[in-house]
Amino acid sequence: MSPVKKKPAMKPTKRPSAKAPSVAPAERARKIYAILEQQYPDARCALTHHDAFELLVATILSAQCTDARVNMVTPGLFARYPGPSEMAEASPEELEGIIRSTGFYHNKAKSLLGASGKIVEEFGGKVPQTMEELLSLPGVARKTANVVLGNAFGKNEGVVVDTHVGRLAVRMGLTKQTDPKKVEQDLIKLFPRESWTLLAHLLISHGRAVCNARKPMCESCALAELCPMIGV
């Protein structure tokens, strides 16, 4: 009886391996931006707002919460408290009740009351327009300040780095950092100042539509030739 021949072991299927684009970093960044701008011509801030105060409040509420949920909460919130003077006088319990569904409502209510009070007392009831002054408000860190400055006042002082932006920046080889502040500094070096605000919206749009966390659609990605697909 002849011996049974063993079938050769099948090699495991692999995702496309990371490749190192030969284009210089600044040129690659320019091309990435141009392609994303074509792919997402309507990219903009997803938080519904009509003025700087509404955007500030919405951004504070968006921490650990979806933009969609925040947009469901803010119409009722602003109907009750249309400006910083009204919100500064709000009952903490009532405010918490309105924003409860956004999560972490106790801390968020404290931030909203503190920020509104300081805006009224120190800034004449107007949301300040500098990074330093915004960072002095309770509940406002650099990300929130960048959102307000870029989208309410048209000032490109930095790049908003949320979970989408941070993830895509690493995958695309635009940074090796994971700390949002360090990621922002790397992006600032690669992209011109006038693009900083829109850059975040473009990366967020791409992160939601194509380059999602669990199953990025690299095969159909318009950036495939420029992306080293790090960590994919």
Among 101, 125, 152, residue at a domain's last position:
152
In a domain, 5, yes or no: no
pLDDT value at residue 23: 81
Residue 9 scores a pLDDT above 60: no
Residue 44 scores a pLDDT above 50: yes
Q: What is the CATH number of the domain that holds 169?
A: 1.10.1670.10
Average of pLDDT values for 97-118?
Answer: 98
Indicate if 81 and 168 belong to the same structural domain: no
Residue 86 scores a pLDDT above 90: yes
The span from the CA of 107 to the CA of 99, in Å, is 11
For the question of whether the overall pTM of this predicted structure is more than 0.85, the answer is: yes
Structural domain span for residue 76: 52-152
Give the residue numbers annotated as catalytic, written as ranges: 143, 162
pLDDT value at residue 14: 42
Indicate if 120 and 140 belong to the same structural domain: yes
pLDDT value at residue 43: 98
Nearest to 92 by CA among 106, 82, 76: 106
Give the angle subtended at the CA of 140 by the CAs of 136 and 143, to the nearest 5°.
Answer: 120
Structural domain total, the chain: 2
Quickly state the pLDDT bin for 11 (edges 50, 70, 90): very low
Average of pLDDT values for 41-50?
Answer: 98
Q: What is the pLDDT of residues 180-230, one digit of tens each?
A: 999 999 999 999 999 999 999 999 999 999 999 999 999 999 999 999 999
